[in-house]
Amino acid sequence: MAKKTFKVKLPAKAAPERFRQELNDEQYLAVTHQKGPALIIAGAGSGKTRALTYRVAYLIDQGVPSNAIMLVTFTKKAADEMVHRAERVSGGHTQGMLAGTFHHVANIVLRKYAETLGYHSNFTIIDRSDQLDLFKLIMGQAIPKDQKTRYPKAADFSDIYSLAINQERQVDDIIAKEYPQYTELVNEIKVILQAYHDRKRATNVMDFDDLLVNFLVFLRTQPAADKLRHRIRHVLVDEFQDVNAIQADIVYEISRNAESVSVVGDDAQAIYSFRGADFTHMLHFLDKYPGTREYKLEENYRSTPEILALANASIAHNINQFQKILYTNRPTGEKPAVCPCADKELEAHFICQKILQFRDEDIPLYEQAVLFRAAYHRIALEQALVEYNIPYVVRAGVRFFEQAHIKDLLAYLCVMVNPVEQVQWTRILSMHPGIGDAAAQKVLSTFISEPNPLEAFVALDLATALQGKRVRAQGKTALQGLQQFFLQTACNPQDGSLLPPDQWSSLPELIELITKYITPFLELRYKDWKERAGDLRELGNFATKYHDASAFLSDILTTIPLKGESIVDGSEVEEERPLVLSTIHQAKGLEWRVVFVLNCVEGALPISRAFGDPAALEEERRLFYVASTRAKDYLFFTYPEFVPSYMVGDMIGRPSRFIEEIRGDNVFEEWDIEL
DNA sequence: AGATTTACTATTTTT
DNA sequence: TAGTAAATCT
């Protein structure tokens, strides 16, 4: 029986007046006067996120139901924060708003409509490392052993595949331009890419690219999409400079009949072309919607004039960009400093001591950050931070869910949710002692083609099924344990049939059971197994928010809690909030009072791969720009003058060209760092 | 033959 | 650190 509902609506406040006070003229117009399409070109630190937040709040104030708003941002965390703040600003409710990354939004929609595209609704998502595993599996079957070295690595296959999809390019073209060494193998490579594609379909699996592609296909071909289009009246997209062709098309498709579509971006901060992003989509947007209103937010609220001057001087060397002149009304401050250090150790010591000095001057650690081009550049610094007893978090490298033990655990949930999934089965089987990759494939082949492989596995008489196949006795025994495990956790004990998800134990309990089961394996494999088991328990805590495993599995992939960052909020409230170490890419959208940019040498920033490629060098310069504009008050560039190298002996570290080319502009001071 | 251990090498960036 | 190749068990 349907319940009666009564919706309470909070009284509208005099929003425009209040917003008027809290925004500058450009922001105010962009927030309140938008109808139809709008392109907001916003410089670094210009409060574009603030403008978007206020726009959401404004719409809600105007009586737009929150589920009629779609807000797409670069990270899900950014979306959550924005929605939360919009809620506070407007005093309205934001429930039902479609908000998050493209991937997150796609996942939400596809969960509902997967069947219209020929998937089962319990499809699972694979991340990059699963993708690599799947490629390896296929390559193992398709490529003769002695030919292996001639072929691209799994990672190359993954990149080629991704480029083909995200830039809508032909495989021939990609190989000719980016992988000329494999030109002779084009046809063989295509066969493997096709096999990968087919295998995903057959096993009810989507990778990150599929989420986007299928979302677009859904919008273009399915009648049900009209319902969604009808509901979504206002579309807001942040970081539009980093969308790829498919994401841009998604925006166009979903906003076809919308009342407003606002996209915000800064071409100077486009740093994701390696995954198909292209800031010229901002231009295409103007073509696509001829009546587009353009707003420019050029006042920077973040940095001192000195820091801004350096950033402006640097980005001026990029030819390919929109014209923007950033200005600030902040009072004058310290000039940015370039600090050559004898070697990496000295560089690390300098940074640590400087950090402590700032802390003494009442700039807490969490208001300071150290940024770098590549995750491994931080290693020397980390050692020093430990010596100096400076607490820090790392936002780089391996994601929390990408760690082997986390993936081990998730594999069990995956198989229960989507039993036809082969990569996760392989992972589960081969973690048992006595079973390696080869044996896992043999075992897998005995049950994977059954309608329900999980039921088939539990019912399997291992002794007869594996007779004559070279599988160790130890492995066979171990697998009996696995059968028992699945029988007890996921199956009806009477007939061994797989229970429907609503009859499983609660998710945290399930995770605890799996943890218990796999801990002995972790103990065999890892020295630090205790910590890893601890991570798994934390994962159990995290899972209390979720009711079904399927949502949990997809969420954990689309919400990226990073390794090192606690996934349980509030667990370290008592301790000092730590210093942030981050790749420049991960620092996007963030700000600190003090920023150090590490290892600013030729070859690292810009990275040597970009040498000789003008477009790539411009992107590297944008990275330099992003790093510089994260700083509010103090900015340091450090680099080691001697770089040990096992290839050619020690090399002299030449300072980054991005520093050299602005030397004449008098925008930084050079410091002497001495022992 | 295949599983497991050990030694070695080269590191971009990520939803 | 993680992926791979070669060496060594079973």
pLDDT band at A28 (very low <50, low <70, confident <90, very high): low
Domain covering A401-558: architecture: Orthogonal Bundle (1.10)
For residue A472, say whether its CB is under 7 Å from any atom of strand B.
Answer: yes
CATH 3.40.50.300 fits A305-398+574-670, yes or no: yes
Closest residue by Cα to residue A618 from A373, A321, A326, A311:
A321
**pLDDT value at residue A566:** 41
Work out the number of other CB atoms within 10 angstroms of the CB of residue A59.
27
- Closest nucleotide (C1' vs CA) to A155 is C3
For residue A586, say whether its CB is under 7 Å from any atom of strand B.
Answer: yes
For residue A65, say whether its CB is under 7 Å from any atom of strand B.
Answer: no
Å between A466 CA and B15 C1'? 41
Please state the rounded mean pLDDT for residues A448-476. Answer: 81
Residue A460 CA to residue A480 CA, distance in Å, equals 9
pLDDT at A8 over 60: no
Residue A161 CA to residue A178 CA, distance in Å, equals 12
CA–chain centroid gap for A71, Å, is 17
pLDDT at A507 over 60: yes
pLDDT at A74 over 70: yes
pLDDT band at A363 (very low <50, low <70, confident <90, very high): very high
Asked whether the beta carbons of A408 and A401 are under 8 A apart, the reply is no
- Closest nucleotide (C1' vs CA) to A439 is B2
**Among A265-279, A349-363, A456-470, which stretch is predicted with the lowest mean pLDDT?**
A456-470
pLDDT band at A33 (very low <50, low <70, confident <90, very high): low
Please state the rounded mean pLDDT for residues A522-547. Answer: 80
For residue A437, say whether its CB is under 7 Å from any atom of strand B.
Answer: yes
**pLDDT value at residue A84:** 86
Å between A149 CA and B7 C1'? 21
Highest average pLDDT, of A247-251, A291-295, A537-541, comes from: A247-251
Query: What's the pTM?
Result: 0.87
Closest residue by Cα to residue A140 from A395, A426, A356, A386:
A426
Residue A601 CA to residue A480 CA, distance in Å, equals 56
**pLDDT value at residue A649:** 45
Q: For A285-323, how does the pLDDT look when each residue is reduced to its tens digit (9 = 90+)?
A: 988 888 888 888 888 989 999 999 999 999 999 988 877
**pLDDT value at residue A1:** 46
For residue A179, say whether its CB is under 7 Å from any atom of strand B.
Answer: no
Rounded-to-5 percentages of helix, strand, coil across chain A? 55, 15, 35
The full set of domain ranges for chain A reads 15-110+221-297, 124-203, 305-398+574-670, 401-558
- Closest nucleotide (C1' vs CA) to A432 is B3
Closest residue by Cα to residue A164 from A156, A173, A155, A152:
A173
Q: Are strands A651-652 and A642-643 parallel, antiparallel or unpaired?
A: antiparallel
Q: Are strands A631-640 and A642-643 parallel, antiparallel or unpaired?
A: unpaired
Residue A167 CA: distances (Å) to CA of A243, A246, A396: 10, 8, 26
CA–CA–CA angle A139, A446, A428 (5° rounding): 65
Q: Are strands A69-72 and A234-237 parallel, antiparallel or unpaired?
A: parallel
Higher pLDDT, A150 or A212: A212
Q: For A130-158, how does the pLDDT look when each residue is reduced to its tens digit (9 = 90+)?
A: 888 888 888 777 777 666 777 788 888 88
Å between A43 CA and B13 C1'? 22
**pLDDT value at residue A648:** 46
For residue A560, say whether its CB is under 7 Å from any atom of strand B.
Answer: yes
Residue with smallest Cα–C1' gap to B3: A436
Work out the number of other CB atoms within 10 angstroms of the CB of residue A96.
12
CATH class for domain A15-110+221-297? alpha beta
Higher pLDDT, A129 or A311: A311
For residue A564, say whether its CB is under 7 Å from any atom of strand B.
Answer: no
Å between A420 CA and C8 C1'? 36
**Among A236-245, A266-275, A570-579, which stretch is predicted with the lowest mean pLDDT?**
A570-579
Q: Indicate the SS3 state at residue A674.
A: coil
Closest residue by Cα to residue A41 from A329, A328, A327, A324:
A324
Helix ranges (H only) for A143-234 are 154-166, 171-178, 186-202, 208-221, 224-231
Å between A514 CA and B3 C1'? 25
Q: For A151-167, how does the pLDDT look when each residue is reduced to its tens digit (9 = 90+)?
A: 788 888 888 888 888 87
For residue A405, say whether its CB is under 7 Å from any atom of strand B.
Answer: no
Domains A15-110+221-297 and A305-398+574-670 share a fold: yes
- The mean predicted confidence, pLDDT, of chain A is 84
Å between A138 CA and B2 C1'? 20
Å between A166 CA and C5 C1'? 34
Long-range CB contacts for residues A437-445, cutoff 8 Å, separation at least 24 = A439/A470, A439/A471, A439/A472, A439/A475, A442/A466, A442/A469, A442/A470, A442/A471, A443/A471, A443/A479
Residue A652 CA to residue A655 CA, distance in Å, equals 9
Å between A376 CA and C8 C1'? 32
User: How much is the CA Rg of chain A, to the nearest whole Å?
Assistant: 27
Asked whether the beta carbons of A644 and A650 are under 8 A apart, the reply is yes
